[in-house]
Structure 1
């Protein structure tokens, strides 16, 4: 018998995932799951959002939530800051491997709530892909003191972040979230509570493209492949070898390497 798929409903969908879950021992995985359920419930309670179990889908290291109709999208975005504070309290005094940090994604769209094996719909797929994007994972590496990294779809950014300014718009970084092996690509925006994601992830060597997007995968690779550049302030020498009395010392050979820029007229070469 084919299930009736004619009546999807529109919802805010949210996905949260624990950082580095699979690298934990069995005991630490057990504790991380406990922390996830307790911290998420405390956050929902603080925000005044009633979320029945029928609107949650657990996945061990994560939780997919479909918000009830009429849930405030502005209030949902406050979840990032609330979780950041609750996790700081939870992680206080814990070892690095026991701490729990989370990636959080928010989107909205049509969802089939009565599917045979969970929630169905492109909105659900999108929010899960955004949370799994390498750009979002990179944010928690770039900000080791952060507890939460939030990614929102472009729809949420344009409708909520840009219009109402509940979160600092200028601290959001626009990305092109891409998972080629999943056939997924979408514009999205990243925010890290207490940090300025937009300012601190723009390297001089990798300017934004014409649409203002940053490819963090490329940025990570460039950091590995490109050797560090020596500063060019002060005196500049380029491949100079001195021998005999002119060398520093008696009969030594000294070779120095400086900037590849040619010496400019009028600059001292002493």
Structure 2
């Protein structure tokens, strides 16, 4: 029974894996261009990390966190965002599909529309940016005095998986909104990419309206800040309980609930390219 289920799953995933494989091969075909893409992505990530470093040349601590603690927050959030951007970021192309009417081509294939869109491309250049987040996270884990236990290892793993799921859900949520906005990608980018920036900062300096938006409605604080606080043994702000850092999986479920609702409403609203 297990072998039959595995074979069925492989058969179902084969078309998607074939498309992803072709996209990956096409990006690696021109080695010089691919190397430049990797370098540019690496520089973007390095510059964003340098911005944090420059900030802490002026202050010793921000929101109760010093530079080594911020490295942990930045590393967690940036790594999760970069991986989500690599595998889901091309959902940003949906407005161009809507304007050109090429989204209708997806409807001709006997696979779910969202799954087709997600597996239609993969941005391998984002691996370089993810490497910056991974290095920052590793350095933050080494420099901070963390009393390691199995619970700490488990929380770190949950934070990475959940953070990736939160950012991936944000890309899908933005895609669903584009069925209504079409030319308003900057509106959703303010929450997707703005949320990524907010996630790499100490949320303890936010005011209550920011906490309402990027703390709970779009739960960016669960991608880096709150799990990092638990790892470091710091108390969360605003009287939140110490165990709130463990709620990252719940934040991921909430984000995907928003994402799938947005996508479902958007698809129902779509009437075709009109061509």
TM-score range, shorter chain: 0.3 to 0.5
Which one has the bigger helix percentage? 2
Higher alpha-carbon Rg: 1
Which one has the bigger strand percentage? 1
TM-score for both structures, normalised by structure 1: 0.32
With a CA cutoff of 8 Å and minimum separation of 6, indicate the structure with the bigger relative contact order. Answer: 2
TM-score for both structures, normalised by structure 2: 0.32
